[in-house]
């Protein structure tokens, strides 16, 4: 049962990563800091963790980094006012959260 759930969530994560790659980066967000977070790095970190989770289990320090990253979105998203950027970064957050869930399932 857990193995089936793990495979399903892994498939969803794979689709989310592909969707993310097809989405244009929000105009005006390169070089922009929101709540002391570089928006390019936030995007890159979430994508990096998600693609790593698709390949293999994360090292303990990377797992902790992914957990911290998902919390950053709680601070950043409410401060974003651009409609497209909200959609984009909500997708990025959801991708990071799902990556953390997949990683947690992997541990069981």
Tens-place pLDDT, residues 52-62: 999 999 999 99
Give the SS3 label for residue 107: coil
Percent of the chain with pLDDT over 90: 85
Average pLDDT of the residues in 4-20: 92
The full set of domain ranges for the chain reads: 2-106
| Residue 7: per-residue pLDDT | 86
Q: Is 93:49 a contact under the CB 8 Å cutoff?
A: no
- Render pLDDT for 20-51 as a digit per residue (tens, 0 to 9): 999 999 999 999 999 999 999 999 999 999 99
Backbone torsion region of residue 74, taken as left when φ is above 0, otherwise alpha when ψ lies between -120 and 50, otherwise beta: alpha
pLDDT value, residue 90 = 98
């Amino acid at each position: 049962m857990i193995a089936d759930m793990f495979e399903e969530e892994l498939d969803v994560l794979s689709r989310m990563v592909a969707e993310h790659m097809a989405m244009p980066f929000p105009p005006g967000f390169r070089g922009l800091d929101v709540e002391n977070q570089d928006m390019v790095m936030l995007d890159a970190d979430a994508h990096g963790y998600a693609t790593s989770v698709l390949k293999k289990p994360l090292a303990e320090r990377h797992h902790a980094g992914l957990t911290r990253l998902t919390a950053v979105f709680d601070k950043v998203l409410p401060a974003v006012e651009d409609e497209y950027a909200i959609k984009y970064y909500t997708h990025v957050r959801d991708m990071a959260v799902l990556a953390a869930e997949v990683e947690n399932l992997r541990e069981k």
